[in-house]
């Protein structure tokens, strides 16, 4: 199995990514911050939430489907970054920083 971190630590991120759908399914519990997933190919839709103090704002748009691949025994994190003209979403292998899917600015 591989580990996918479903959201970042909200205390350390201004732009915090979250999963809308993973392999066509909505996450079953919004309090879950990581999940075991099978190795291989997956599809995810992400959302970016901007945090200002205690105020949270969704940053449109929600990503289109992002295809990504994971390997057994590895951990992956999702990210979002908001620029002046675009919201970027990507999934990165935690140790190497290799991009498993999406687009990094």
pLDDT higher for 74 or 15? 74
Rounded to 5, what percent of the chain is helix, strand, coil?
Answer: 0, 55, 45
Q: What is the pTM of this model?
A: 0.82
Determine the Cα angle at 89 with ends 86 and 90, to 5°: 145
pLDDT at 13 over 60: no
β-pairing verdict for 75-82 and 2-5: parallel
Structure tokens at 33: 């911050």
- Residue that is written with structure tokens 């003209």 in the block: 85
- Residue that is written with structure tokens 């591989």 in the block: 2
| % of the chain beyond a pLDDT of 90 | 40
pLDDT computed for residue 16 by the predictor: 77
């Amino acid at each position: 199995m591989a580990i996918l971190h479903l959201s970042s630590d909200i205390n350390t991120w201004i732009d915090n990514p979250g999963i809308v759908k993973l392999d066509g399914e909505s996450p079953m519990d919004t309090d879950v911050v990581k999940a075991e997933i099978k190795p291989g190919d997956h599809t995810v839709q992400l959302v970016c939430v901007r945090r200002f103090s205690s105020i949270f704002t969704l940053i449109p748009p929600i990503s289109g489907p992002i295809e990504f691949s994971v390997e057994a025994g590895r951990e992956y994190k999702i990210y979002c970054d908001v620029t002046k003209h675009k919201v970027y979403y990507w999934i990165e292998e935690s140790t190497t920083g290799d991009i498993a899917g999406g687009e990094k600015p």
